[in-house]
Amino acid sequence: MDILRDIENIDFSLLYSGSLCLDEPSRIKRLARCDCIKLPTFMVDLDTYKHQLRWIGYINGILPKPQPRRSKGEGKAAPI
């Protein structure tokens, strides 16, 4: 539940650098080698993963309803 409540402030790649608790990343941030970490496939697109976590939090009554995601082409100016 702590992960769902603090989605925006968690550095998931740092969390994957070893067996860590949620309060430890600030202590090991300067020592961790995040450049060589291979993230799981579901975490490659971190924005999509966080959006899915927000929905999980909403369904379980922990978070408010997330905003709908915009498609990649939506919101851009049309070519002239």
pLDDT averaged over every residue in the chain: 77
CA distance 14 to 33: 8
CA distance 34 to 43: 14
Percent of the chain with pLDDT over 90: 18
Q: Compute the C-alpha angle 69/9/66, nearest 5°.
A: 25
pLDDT, tens digit (0-9, with 9 covering 90-100), for 29-60: 666 666 767 778 888 888 998 999 999 999 99
pTM for this entry: 0.65
The pLDDT, as a whole number, for residue 78 is 47
- Name the region of 61 (left: φ>0; alpha: ψ -120 to 50; beta: rest): left
Query: Integer distance in angstroms from the first to the last C-alpha of the chain?
Result: 48
